Structure 1
Amino acid sequence: MSIAGLVTALLVGIAIGLLGRLIIPGRREAPIWLTVSVGVVAALAGTILARLAGVHTGTLNLPTLVIQVGLAGGGVVLVVATAKPEPSDSP
């Protein structure tokens, strides 16, 4: 993985993590750092998956971007949908 591929994955992950938090209505139990982290990790996994599929990941290209966005979006939706509210300290 080249530096350009790594930077692209990081930017895609951050963008999807933030956008996913805004787009998914209602539930806000997942902290913002969690959605961004899941987006970044899933986008990096998307880069690895694209590379294993034979897609050139050294530059920004559509197939790699589609895989990154798909995995990052799916990961963020999964985390937000399964997040539970924090227990309150007051009785």
Structure 2
Amino acid sequence: MNWLWAIVVGLVLGLIAKAILPGKQQVPLWLTIILGMLGALLGNWVASLLGVEHTKGIDWIRHLLQLAGAVILVAIGDRLWVGARGNKHRAT
């Protein structure tokens, strides 16, 4: 069940990150999910450094850090994906 939850969170964070980033991202859905999951892990790590990983109620700061991590990783992943695949899918 933990893997299913991680996939759902990765999907949600990845899709929100793609919506926040300007322009159209070329990164495929499977990579968006993975980058969203990694963004959640990155956000949790930063939250633990800041001492906000476990709070009472909803952890808004941790969730915002997870989203920020997903945005950063989706942006980097998109650039790497386009670079690896070439610019044949990008409109100039």
TM norm structure 2:
0.64
Q: Mark the CA change 1:34 to 1:27 in structure 2 (over 3 Å): closer, same or farther.
A: same
In the comparison of the two structures, how many residue pairs are matched? 79
One-letter code aligned to 2:41: L
**Does 2:53 align with 1:50?**
no
How big is the alpha-carbon RMSD for the aligned residues of Structure 1 and Structure 2?
2.8
Identity among equivalent positions (%) equals 24
Shift of 1:16: 2.2
> CA contact under 8 A between 1:47 and 1:64: conserved in structure 2?
yes
Q: Mark the CA change 1:14 to 1:46 in structure 2 (over 3 Å): closer, same or farther.
A: same
Shift of 1:41: 1.1
**Does 2:38 align with 1:41?**
yes
TM norm structure 1:
0.64
**Higher RCO by CA contacts (8 Å cutoff, separation 6 or greater):** 1
One-letter code aligned to 1:46: G
Q: Mark the CA change 1:82 to 1:56 in structure 2 (over 3 Å): closer, same or farther.
A: closer
> CA contact under 8 A between 2:44 and 2:62: conserved in structure 1?
yes
Select which of 6, 14, 23 maps to 1:17: 14
Identify unmatched segments of 5+ residues in structure 1.
Answer: 87-91
Higher helix content, 1 or 2:
2
